[in-house]
Structure formats: C-alpha cells, structure tokens
Amino acid sequence: MAARFENKVVIVTGGTSGIGLATAKAFAGEGASVFITGRRQEALDAAVKAVGGRVTGVRGDMGKLADIDRLYDAVQQKHGHIDVVFANAGGGEFAALGSITEEHYQSTFDSNVKGVLFTVQKALPLMRDGGSIVLTSSTTSISGTPAFSVYSATKAAIRSFARNWILDLKDRHIRVNAISPGVTDTAGLNELFGGGAQAEGTKDYLAGLIPAGRVGQPEEIAKAVLFLASDDASFINGVELFVDGGQVQI
C-alpha cells in the first residue's frame, strides 16, 4: 500500500495500548512522524519501542491542560505543525444509576470529554489547513448498556463534537469525524470485564450478539482511522463511522 502519511505529523492520544497503539503503529508504518501519549511512563516507553519508526512519547494526562500544553510544546519544537489528530485517550468503568459518585462522573468526563475538547482546541494553532481530526466515540453513543451511562454520555458528547466542529473549522478545511468501535479486544476492555476467564466469557457472550460473530481487533479500528484521516476520505466530514461487526445496525 502507498504510504499515505509520508512527511505528515500525527498525534495519537492514548497511544500506549489497544486501539491507540495499533493506530500509532499503522500511521508510523505509512511514513508518519507520530506523537503518542499516555499517563504511565513504563507503558509509554514500551509503546515507543513497539511503534518504531519516527515516534515520540510524551507522558501526560489529557484531562489536564498543562499536560496537553507540554505535548504541543514538544510538537512545536520538533516539527512546528500538525497534519492529523487522533483524539483517542479515554476509558470507562461500570457504575449503575444509584451508585454513581461525583468522582466517577468527574474522572470519566475529564478523560473522555474535557481531554478530547482541549486536545483538539490546543492543536488548532499548529494544525495545517486541510488537516484531519478523528475522535474516538463508541457504539455506546447510540445504544444503552447496564451500569454504563456516564461513559456512554461521554461518547455521545464526542459524536456531537464532530457534528459541531466541522462548522467551526469550515474555513480551514479541516475535517472532523468520529470513529465508533464496537467490542474491541484491548487491555482496557479486558480490565473492564474483570480480566482472565471472566473477561473471556463476557467477550464470547458478546461475540454471539454481533452479526460478524466475533469481537473486533484493534488493528481493524486502526485501518478505519487511517482511512478517515487520509485523503481517501476527502469528502467525508462529520460522520460517525461504526466499526463494530454490525452490532448496532440490528
């Protein structure tokens, strides 16, 4: 395949594991200079090694504005511009209505909503006109899951950001799209499902509900992110692309 991202500067937040790591590898494999973030230094160091190519790791919590500033200071010093932002950092935990705490609400919205908002806003001064932004939403943006309302609300917010930001960025010809993975086999998902045999059992059960008959792999989400970020998607703007084996289409 042609290297669609040769000489491009790409930001992947939450690039140390799962979907972000697979996507960072795919961008680097197509010639991009990639910046990845994550909060854990050890995971960041391992991911930098795993991605290879022209990759830079910047440790930071995307829910903290000072950490986002440090990321873009590093980009400014090294390249002075950005072509693609994949605002992907995030995660969630189960909490049913009745047991939701302020801390649960705050930490989920900080990582998933505040983090995405300021990752994008603070990238704008460095972004080239005609660039591309991809936001990680989720099938939960349009479907319900027991004890997962706060997380799901954050992902609905992300979908809404994409719809609105295409208007704010219209004059700069910057496209914004949301990617909505279904059940995808990552460290984050396995932890959410209790790890080990319990997680395997839950994934097997969910696979039976998915028309494709299986859960997704992070590399499958990465391919769709690269498509949306590339010129192959030059007339695709403001959409939510479900990559879920058909789960929320039935």
Contact residues: ligand NAP, CB under 6 A: 13-20, 37-40, 43, 61-63, 88-92, 111, 115, 136, 138, 181, 183-184, 186-189
Strand partners, 243: 181
φ and ψ at residue 214, rounded to 5 degrees:
-160, 165
φ and ψ at residue 99, rounded to 5 degrees:
-125, 15
Per the document, the length of the chain is 250
Nearer to ligand NAP, 8 or 59 (CB): 59
Nearer to ligand NAP, 128 or 248 (CB): 248
3-state secondary structure of 54: strand
Nearer to ligand NAP, 115 or 245 (CB): 115
In the residue annotation, 151 being an active-site residue is answered as yes
Residue 188 C-beta: closest distance to ligand NAP, Å: 2
Cα dihedral 198, 200, 204, 209, rounded to 10, equals 70
Nearer to ligand NAP, 128 or 202 (CB): 202
Residue 207 C-beta: closest distance to ligand NAP, Å: 12
What residue spans of the chain are helical by DSSP H? Answer: 18-29, 41-51, 65-78, 102-109, 115-123, 149-168, 187-192, 196-207, 218-229
Nearer to ligand NAP, 115 or 131 (CB): 115
DSSP 8-state class, residue 216: B
Instruction: Evaluate whether 31 touches 12 at the Cβ level (below 8 Å).
Output: no
Residue 231 C-beta: closest distance to ligand NAP, Å: 24
User: What tokens were used for 176?
Assistant: 């914004």
Crossing angle (nearest 10°) for helices 41-51 and 18-29: 30
Instruction: Evaluate whether 51 touches 22 at the Cβ level (below 8 Å).
Output: no
Instruction: Evaluate whether 183 touches 203 at the Cβ level (below 8 Å).
Output: yes
Residue 98 C-beta: closest distance to ligand NAP, Å: 23
Residue 172 C-beta: closest distance to ligand NAP, Å: 25
Nearer to ligand NAP, 131 or 182 (CB): 182
Q: What is the rounded distance in angstroms from the CA atom of residue 183 to the CA atom of residue 112? A: 17
Residue 125 C-beta: closest distance to ligand NAP, Å: 21
Task: Spot the catalytic one: 72, 105, 151, 205.
Answer: 151
φ and ψ at residue 79, rounded to 5 degrees:
-130, -30
Q: What positions carry a catalytic annotation?
A: 151
